[in-house]
Amino acid sequence: SVGVGALNKVHGGTINRGSRPSHHVDASGSVNRKVLQSLEKIGVLEKEKKGGRKITQDGQRDLDRIAMTLAEESDEE
């Protein structure tokens, strides 16, 4: 499962604090939240009871199809 906070940590970066040491800062959650909401709307993700979102069976099936197509194309080359 993945939530907005986890994605914010992954997509965050460092902040330059001048003469003080740099520190990690989380990314803004707006874009990550909208992406998760869009994927939820088309049925790829669903909300979990404990929080966050997880991939649905239909979403996993779609990803498997895409992976197989890409694997077949790379084998042909």
The structural domains of the chain, with segments of one domain joined by +, span 4-76
- Angle (CA) 54-58-65 rounded to 5° is 110
Give the pair of three-digit tokens for residue 58: 């239909």
Cα gap 71→49, rounded to integer Å: 34
pTM of the model: 0.78
For the stretch 18-73, pLDDT in tens is: 999 999 999 999 999 999 999 999 999 999 999 999 999 999 999 999 999 999 99
Q: Please tell me the class of the 4-76 domain.
A: mainly alpha
Taking phi over 0 as left and psi of -120 to 50 as alpha, with beta for the rest, 68 belongs to alpha
Helix (DSSP H) and strand (DSSP E) numbers for the chain: 3, 4
Whether the pLDDT of residue 1 is over 90: the answer is: no
Which tokens go with 28?
């803004």
